[in-house]
Amino acid sequence: MCVSGLSLTNFNKLLAKSSEINDLCTPIKNLLGINYFNYIRLNKDNSRLSLTNYPKYIEDFYIKKSYAKKYINTVEKSCIKEIDIYQDYFQWKEVADVSASFAEAEQHYNITNGITLIKRFPNFVELYYFGIPKNTIKNSDVLKSNIDLLDRFILYFKDKGNKTITYAEENPITVKNITNCIPLHDMSLNACASILSHMNQFRFIYQQGEKKIFLTARETMLLIYLIMQFSMREIAEKLRCSHQTIENCLNGIKSQLSCYTRHSLIEKLNNLKIIDISIKNKEEINFFQCNFITSTSKEYLLNTAIENIHLDGIRKNIYLTKQEAICAFYLCHGYSAKNIANNTNRTFKTIEAHIYNLKKKLSITTKSSLTSFFIHHKILPMIALAYPELSDVFQPK
């Protein structure tokens, strides 16, 4: 079935997921009175995903009214235009080109004062639509003033709704005759979509200048393992997902942080400051009623990362030279042998020799086990105390 270029082969399958989406929306429904949520992904190949808690409006939009009137081109092109202007979000009342469509939503479906949050990825754009009922909240900017809360909900939605999103990815809606709607070059990334649900106890918020960066626990653990010199294969095994998933997730984080080499990413990560770890309550309805822990170090994350890693028993009377200790310190902060050489004014072969000696002294065979050993036995603080100049290099900013 096709309506004005829209193939509806999978349309009803996605609408049938509305009850699941509605359950996921319970926290924002209770806290902000949101009655309308729609997740749309516009893919590079002009296919799309659409998951909503309000199937009646979406069905009418695509089939009976707006789409038949060719609003869809206007809506999406205008959304992309607003992306260029607002970068991260736009309020519906600000989008003059599609006022008819949003006015229709208010008149017939009791949806108003809406806002759309935008997340850009290399191969697709995600749009998160939030709306509230008419005459329930006097402040029309209530959603705009709670964007941080909506960002948290998006993490929650992608985490708990992972299976539903995967189902939607397998059953995309095909769109024909709509071309060049989505500019997919030179896009910055706001979040990574590779989120798996079995590591969902924590959400991490980092500060980079005036910008807040939201990462899931899985994304954070990926980065910690990367810093600890784990290979991509080892990280995939630790996080129980495919190598390709790890690659995609890492590329997304690089784009978000505007880092395009491993070393530039490592340097930026060492300067990020954890400003919030949100602990989820057992009751899903109270998801946003969180406790907050303020931390300026990655001690919690590192301790979590080394959990269940087998380490050889520590030997007595192991002595490290100053250069070996400094080399170990850099290794534990994610630096490669080449970058350690550049930072310490030593040759690459010299650094490789130090790493070899460290492994030999500790009877360790891999770099990841070496960094795990130093972190597990709390040797890094001793090295930092002995050589204070190192603290300046890795001080969170």
Mean pLDDT by 10 residues, the chain (397 residues): 51 78 85 85 79 77 54 53 60 63 67 81 83 67 80 82 83 58 30 28 55 70 82 86 83 80 80 51 31 34 41 56 86 87 91 91 86 77 76 58
Using an 8 Å Cβ cutoff, are 47 and 143 in contact?
A: no
Longest CA–CA span in the chain (Å) reads 80
Residue where the block lists tokens 């492994």: 359
**Cα 181–Cα 187–Cα 188 angle in degrees, nearest 5:** 140
Residue where the block lists tokens 């089939």: 63
* Residue 394, both tokens: 């890795």
Residue 355: per-residue pLDDT? 92
Rg for the chain (alpha carbons), in Å? 24
| Integer Cα distance of 254 and 259 in angstroms | 5
Residues recorded for the chain: 397
DSSP letter (8 states) at residue 286: G
Q: 149 by DSSP, 3-state: which?
A: helix
Pick from 4, 155, 131, 124: which is nearest to 74 by CA? 4
C-alpha distance across the termini of the chain, in Å: 55
Domains of the chain: 2-175 (3.30.450.80), 202-305 (1.10.10), 322-393 (1.10.10.10)
| Integer Cα distance of 219 and 39 in angstroms | 21
Q: Which residues contact 136 (CB under 8 A, 6 or more apart)?
A: 33
| Integer Cα distance of 376 and 303 in angstroms | 7
Residue type, 81: K
Cα→Cα distances 257→69, 264, 355, Å? 40, 10, 29
Cα→Cα distances 244→12, 167, 215, 237, 248, Å? 30, 19, 19, 12, 6
Q: Sign of dihedral through CA atoms 10, 13, 15, 21?
A: negative
| Integer Cα distance of 189 and 178 in angstroms | 24
Cα→Cα distances 242→113, 166, 223, 249, 262, Å? 41, 15, 16, 11, 20
* Residue 273, both tokens: 């400051």
- Number of helices and strands (H, E) in the chain? 19, 12
Q: What is the pTM of this model?
A: 0.49
